[in-house]
Amino acid sequence: MKHPVSITAVSDYGEEAILAALRQLLAPLGGMEAFVRRGQKVLIKPNLLSANAPAKAVTTHPDVVSGVIRLVRECGGLPLIGDSPGVGSSRAVAEKCGILGVVRATGAKLVPFEEALPFPHEIGPFRRLEVAREALEADVIINLPKLKTHQMMGMTGAVKNLFGLVVGFRKANLHLRAGSDKALFALMLLELARHAAPALTVVDAVVAMEGNGPGSGDPVRVGALLAGVNPVAVDTAALTLLGLRPDSVWTHQVALRQGLPGTLPEQLELFGPALESLRPPRFRPAPDGDITFGIPAMLRPVLKKSLTALPAVDPAKCLACGICQRHCPVGAISIQKGRLQIDCRSCIGCFCCQELCPEGAIEARQGALLRLQEWWRARRRK
Ligand code: SF4
Ligand code: SF4
């Protein structure tokens, strides 16, 4: 069975241009009417990571949210907009990133994720997984990720965006339970995506993010919207578009290992321009976070500093605001005499600190063996 993924090239934002592009994008999938029926409660889940202007490319662009709301309304659906930001209230984040204005203008409803309920059955490696009540009560979920690099997972797109269905500090708890096992965390994300079962994913890659993502990278114009039903297949198309190594995106690596449908490019049925034709020149992925070959498990803790990327703070940018300290799931961050200290022995490499730092003061610092691996790869490519 092939997994349809539609791609539409669109050079820039603009409410009407994006609405027209969305119609074109969804046409091969049957249009919005294939997903939404009159009277249905439709939870639209953008990326509302943190309070940033749309031009920073941290959050889903308001024009994409607006276009999807309008299409849902045309089908008679009742659009609800919800996400659980990494830091701050969803209202404050939505206001700064322009989505609150869209909600007001379209008469949609912003739903703050406050109450968490467990899935009615055991799922994933942690068995009990709680998500926002609105996600369980919606008739339809439409997933609206922003395409970005992600220091911990490699890329955030269709699968990773659904982590925002988990409410507030429960996200930190899941990081804590996975520890430094990124494959385990990725498995949890894949199970969450499978059970949340969005009817449709629309990826905002008009302007994506490269480098130090997902919170402090650089905007990069890709000029594309992607859509599909299977989030894994949509991510396969997205990482192919960006030219990322399949093993550099943890959710994809684990999905490949599990043989999940839609992980191989040949399993996709693509509509629209060739993915490679939209690839930005010299796209900068997130720095590799781990050595991926041949080190025995028993040696890994001893060689942790050499084998992994760990967070490092730029004292010139850090304002000692304490946001990262409050969100570190293992309490590895302290502020002493106004200076940030990170205890690398207890750090699990989740990069929540980097993701949430409003000053972009935290970057990944690769260990010596990891740098060697990168040098070796670059040499082989020549
Ligand atoms: S690193 Fe960033 S989040 Fe952490 S204290 Fe400094 S400015 Fe605040
Ligand atoms: S220091 Fe940063 S990367 Fe390390 S565990 Fe804490 S939040 Fe995660």
Amino acid 123: pLDDT: 82
Q: What is the pLDDT of residues 259-318, one digit of tens each?
A: 999 999 999 999 999 999 999 999 999 988 777 666 777 777 777 778 889 999 999 999
Distance of CA 189 to the CA centre of its chain: 10
Q: Which residue has the tokens 């990482």?
A: 239
Q: What is the pLDDT of residues 220-271, one digit of tens each?
A: 999 999 999 999 999 999 999 999 999 999 999 999 999 999 999 999 999 9
Token pair listed for 190: 């894949």
Task: Give the span between the Cα atoms of 171 and 355, in whole angstroms.
Answer: 13
Question: How many A from CA of 354 to the centre of ligand 2?
Answer: 8
Domain assignments of the chain as residue spans, ordered by start: 3-278, 297-381
Directed axis angle between helix 182-196 and helix 170-178, to 10°?
A: 130
Mean pLDDT over residues 311-339, rounded? 96
Q: Tell which residue, 352, 355, 362, 356, has the closest CA to residue 315.
A: 362
Nearest CA to ligand 2 atom 4: 347
Nearest CA to ligand 1 atom 4: 324
The answer to whether residue 156 scores a pLDDT higher than 90 is yes
Q: Indicate left, alpha or beta for 9 from its phi (over 0: left) and psi (-120 to 50: alpha).
A: beta
Ligand 1 atom having least distance to the Cα of 333: 4
Question: How many A from CA of 363 to the centre of ligand 2?
Answer: 11
Amino acid 264: pLDDT: 97
Task: Give the span between the Cα atoms of 69 and 5, in whole angstroms.
Answer: 21
Pocket test for ligand 1, best of 151, 313, 347, 355 (most atoms within 8 A of CB): 313
Pairing of strands 130-132, 116-118: antiparallel
N- to C-terminal Cα distance for the chain? Answer: 37
Task: Give the span between the Cα atoms of 358 and 240, in whole angstroms.
Answer: 30
Contacts of 9 (CB under 8 A, 6+ apart): 223, 224, 272, 273, 278
CATH of domain 297-381: 3.30.70.20
Pocket test for ligand 2, best of 310, 353, 354, 365 (most atoms within 8 A of CB): 353
Amino acid 294: pLDDT: 66
**Was domain 3-278 assigned CATH 3.40.630.40?**
no
Contacts of 185 (CB under 8 A, 6+ apart): 152, 153, 174, 175, 178, 250, 350
Question: Could you give the residue ranges of the DSSP H alpha helices within 243-283?
Answer: 250-258
Inter-residue contact 243 to 274 (CB < 8 Å): no
Amino acid 303: pLDDT: 76
Amino acid 292: pLDDT: 60
Q: What is the pLDDT of residues 11-48, one digit of tens each?
A: 999 999 999 999 999 999 999 999 999 999 999 999 99
Pairing of strands 41-46, 78-81: parallel
How many alpha carbons fall within 13 Å on the CB side of residue 249?
29
Nearest CA to ligand 1 atom 7: 318
For ligand 2, say whether the CB of 330 is within 6 Å of any of its atoms.
Answer: yes
Pocket test for ligand 1, best of 327, 342, 359 (most atoms within 8 A of CB): 359
Element spanning 305, H or E: helix 304-307
Pocket test for ligand 1, best of 50, 323, 337, 347 (most atoms within 8 A of CB): 323
Q: Which residue has the tokens 């339970």?
A: 177
The answer to whether residue 382 scores a pLDDT higher than 80 is no
Task: Give the span between the Cα atoms of 215 and 377, in whole angstroms.
Answer: 27
Question: How many A from CA of 184 to the centre of ligand 1?
Answer: 28
Cβ < 6 Å from ligand 1: which residues? 313, 318-324, 340, 357, 359, 361-362
